[in-house]
Amino acid sequence: MRASLFITCYNDTLFPETGRAVVRLLERLGVALDFRPQQTCCGQMHANTGFRGEAFSQAKRFVHLYQDSEIVVIPSSSCVAMIRDQYPALFDELGNNTLRNELKTLLPRVYELSEFLIDRLGVEDVGAYFPHRVTYHASCHGLRALHLGERPNRLLAKVRGLDQVQLPNLDRCCGFGGTFSVKNAEVSSAMLAVKLQDVVSTGAEYCTALDNSCLMHLGGAMHRQYAGMKTIHMAEILASTEAVPAEAAQ
């Protein structure tokens, strides 16, 4: 199976290890990946801050870039939610019929990582080994926009050595919210403080998610507070094996 990897702007810049893990994982599962070097950003930051025209120009770039892709895999639930939930309205408002049709044919081929693994590849056991205590943070977009449901848990359940601890108040936001974290920095920090209490209460070594934006927020607070925990994108757990452990665990 062929698939295009849209790594997203912030993973490319800040979390390349997540991208490397996605490549290792999907190639191990027999997927032939391509990476289009022209890719930049899906437009989420602009759309969520109210810069609709700018978001639209980035959305157009995305749709043109992946027109001929069989499948687009994206290891970020909020970027997938942007594409799935916000592109149609943006194109209705600012686009033309050609563009709307291009989007319509592309959307069913856009997958978040756990959706791709379970819905498209039909695998739950990806052959991973990660001998650590882990708690899963269901990011708001994964939970309420993509309705990932049990997919992440089904994948984690098959990881050998992994001891999963349920996170209390799983449906509560960590307070990141993109530019919300700086526009409303104090409220965002208050939400983060409450979330971190729940995360730390699990006694896990790692907090994982399918979105590095929440993890950057949580991880930033863990580091500031010497919380004795780390964050790790789920792709890195799923890519991890006895022979090649996750970079974060080395």
Partner 1 sequence: MSHAANHPVLDPTIAPPFPVAALPVLRNPQLRKNVAHAIDVIQAKRAKLVNEKTDWQALREAGSAIRAHALDHLGAYLEEFETRCTDAGGHVHWAADAAEARQIILDLLRQENASEVIKIKTMTSAEIQLNPFLEAGGVGVFETDLAEIILQLGDEEPSHIVVPALHVNRSQVREIFARRMGLENLSDDPHALTAAARTYLRQKFLKIPTAISGANFLIAETGAVAIVESEGNGRMCLTLPRTMITLAGIEKVLPRFQDLEVMLQVLARSATGERMNPYTSLWTGVTPGDGPQNFHVVLLDNGRSSILSHPVERQTLKCIRCAACMNACPVYRQTGGHAYGSVYPGPIGAILTPQLMQMQHAQSLPYASSLCGACYEVCPVKINIPEVLLDLRAQVVNQERKQGGRFFDPMYLGLRIANLLFSRAWLFHAAQWMGRIGIKLFTGKDGWIHSLPSIGAKWTQTRDLRGLPSQTFHQWWAARPKEAK
The site for partner 1 (CB under 8 A) is made up of: 7, 9, 11-20, 23, 34-35, 37-41, 43, 45-52, 54, 57-58, 61, 86, 89, 140-141, 143-145, 171-173, 175-192, 194, 216-217, 219-221, 223-224
106 versus 145: smaller Cβ distance to partner 1: 145
Q: How far is the CB of 145 from partner 1 (least distance, A)?
A: 6
d(CA 33, CA 22) in angstroms, rounded, equals 10
Residues 6+ apart with CB under 8 A from 89: none
78 versus 202: smaller Cβ distance to partner 1: 78
124 versus 180: smaller Cβ distance to partner 1: 180
Alpha carbon of residue 187 to chain centroid: 24
d(CA 104, CA 46) in angstroms, rounded, equals 22
Q: How far is the CB of 4 from partner 1 (least distance, A)?
A: 12
Q: How far is the CB of 202 from partner 1 (least distance, A)?
A: 19
Q: How far is the CB of 60 from partner 1 (least distance, A)?
A: 10
Q: How far is the CB of 23 from partner 1 (least distance, A)?
A: 8
114 versus 181: smaller Cβ distance to partner 1: 181
37 versus 108: smaller Cβ distance to partner 1: 37
Task: Collect contacts of 146-153 with beta carbons under 8 A, ≥24 apart.
Answer: 146/77, 146/80, 146/81, 146/84, 146/112, 146/115, 148/77, 148/112, 148/114, 148/115, 148/210, 151/114, 151/115, 151/117, 151/118, 151/119, 152/114, 152/210, 152/234
Query: Could you give the angle at which helices 97-106 and 52-65 cross, rounded to 10 degrees?
Result: 60
104 versus 183: smaller Cβ distance to partner 1: 183
Q: How far is the CB of 195 from partner 1 (least distance, A)?
A: 8
What is the three-class DSSP state of 208? strand
